[in-house]
Amino acid sequence: MSKLKLYQNEHLDKLRLQADDLADASVADLVLDPEACKFINSLSTLPQNQDWTHLPRTVQKYFQSFALQAEFADKQKIIMAQDYFSKEGHYYLSMLGFYSLPYCYAFGDGAEVLVRSKRITDEVGKRLSETALFLLDSFRPDTFLSDDRGLLSIAKVRLIHAFSRYFILKYTKDWKEEWGKPINQEDLLGTNLAFSLVVMRGLEKLNRFPGKETYEAILHYWKLIAYYLGIDVNYWPENAKEAFELEKSIRIRHIRSSEAGQKLIRSLLNFYQDDIPDKNLSQLVESLVSFFLGREVSDTLGVKQKVNLPKDAVSLLLRFNFWKEGSSKMSYQKIRSQFIQRQKDKFEEVIQLSVPIVKRS
């Protein structure tokens, strides 16, 4: 049955008022229990029953939900998506930074959440690395099959979302009801589309679109990620047509110029320009982002394509300057090792996904 009828204002309006009851209940207890947060951050795999008896019951219930396998999981599509990421993950991660995140900043109400996290504007590099690590962990081979390390990262990110909701609703005085709940179901759907459909669009701009079968395997993969992120997968598209229509509906509803979006995109562009040692390349960053965003979203964010970049030039720029691909074949381990080395070089540490620990006075 087609899901197109769900992508109407009446349904999407309701999603803006819905968050994630399971994760929110857990965080209500975790803010009072810093030792439980430290325990979660110390994990390398999902905790088993015998490991969580000291945790609040809400948190035990939360982790129990990750032991339930999604009934709709398609092993063949899972393997296809993971194999694709192992070969093209370096381009996938490039789309994350130069397309997916800027695209998200153009959605005014959702940008209001992001800009209230000072880490996003003041520690752009680390925040970007955390998002890339989430993708790397989620696409780790055998995730959703026999390796639960990727699931642990998804579980942490879901709790981080709930912590953000908690802090905004409790401490932010200027939050407006018309924006919906912070990190609501519609915004979560939009973000997942930015990390799937939008990535595929970016690759198509580079003449690297993998084909409909692989694209729909990627959509299926993100349905699984959505399921464990606490997103209502009844709304998640099953095919390219539904993905196109859902993204279009959300874009029409929410794309608008905002002070929050402008601040976010300027912070990101300034980071790129400072981070790239070759100044000839750093001056191309805004044009590169605009190349992917297209005119409508670029205008919304005030991003200018100062230099006309042909597709082939963009592909070479990404390949030889942002990833040390050379002529050798890429693999998941090679992509991950390059990523880790960059974190060590940049931050003198390896970035980790961690839930906040609230200091009790």
Give me the DSSP letters along 137-166. Answer: HHTSTTBTTTB-HHHHHHHHHHHHHHHHHH
Mean pLDDT in residue range 19-37:
97
C-alpha distances (whole Å) from 343 to each of 201, 241, 337 are: 28, 38, 10
- Compute the distance between CA of residue 298 and CA of residue 296 in angstroms, rounded to an integer: 6
Which position has the token pair 């699931």?
A: 151
Identify the bridge partners of residue 147 per DSSP, sorted by sequence position.
143
CA distances 103 to 210, 267, 338, Å, are 21, 14, 25
What's the rounded Cα separation, in Å, for the pair 125 and 330? 24
Site of tokens 């509906």: 249
Most confident of 215-229, 281-295, 322-336, 340-354: 215-229
Q: Is the pLDDT of residue 122 over 80?
A: no
* DSSP 8-state secondary structure symbol assigned to residue 282: H
Higher pLDDT, 175 or 315: 175
The tokens describing 89, both together, are: 């993950």
Cα–Cα distance between 263 and 275 in angstroms, integer? 18
| CB distance 203 to 91 below 8 Å | yes
Q: Do 197 and 219 form a contact (C-beta atoms < 8 A)?
A: yes
Separation between Cα atoms, residue 264 and residue 120, nearest integer Å: 8
Q: Do residues 291 and 309 touch, judged by C-beta distance below 8 A?
A: yes
Helices and strands of the chain, counted as H and E runs: 19, 0
Burial class (CB in 10 A: 0-12, 13-18, 19+), 253: middle
Residue owning tokens 């960059």? 342
Measured CA to CA, the distance from residue 151 to residue 134 in angstroms comes to 10
Which candidate, 31, 62, 17, places its Cα nearest to that of 183?
Answer: 17
Alpha-carbon span 138 to 152, nearest angstrom: 9
As a whole number, the mean pLDDT across the chain is 92
Range 201-205 average pLDDT: 95
Structure tokens at 72: 């709709």
pLDDT tens column, 290-338: 999 999 999 999 999 888 887 777 776 676 555 555 446 889 999 999 8
Place of tokens 């049955």: 1
Cα-to-chain-centroid distance, residue 298: 20
- The pLDDT, as a whole number, for residue 313 is 72
Q: What is the pTM of this model?
A: 0.95
pLDDT in tens, 59-87: 999 999 998 889 999 999 999 999 999 99
Residues 23 and 31 sit within 8 Å (Cβ to Cβ): no
First to last CA, the chain: 54
Q: On the CB side of 134, how many CA atoms lie within 13 Å of its CA?
A: 22
Three-class SS of residue 255?
strand
Q: What are phi and psi of 107, to 5 degrees?
A: -95, 105
Query: Can you give the pLDDT at residue 323?
Result: 56
Q: The tokens of 120 are what?
A: 């996003």
- Greatest mean pLDDT among 44-53, 117-126, 217-226, 341-350 lies in 217-226
The pLDDT of 31-35, averaged and rounded, is 96
The answer to whether 60 touches 52, Cβ cutoff 8 Å, is: yes
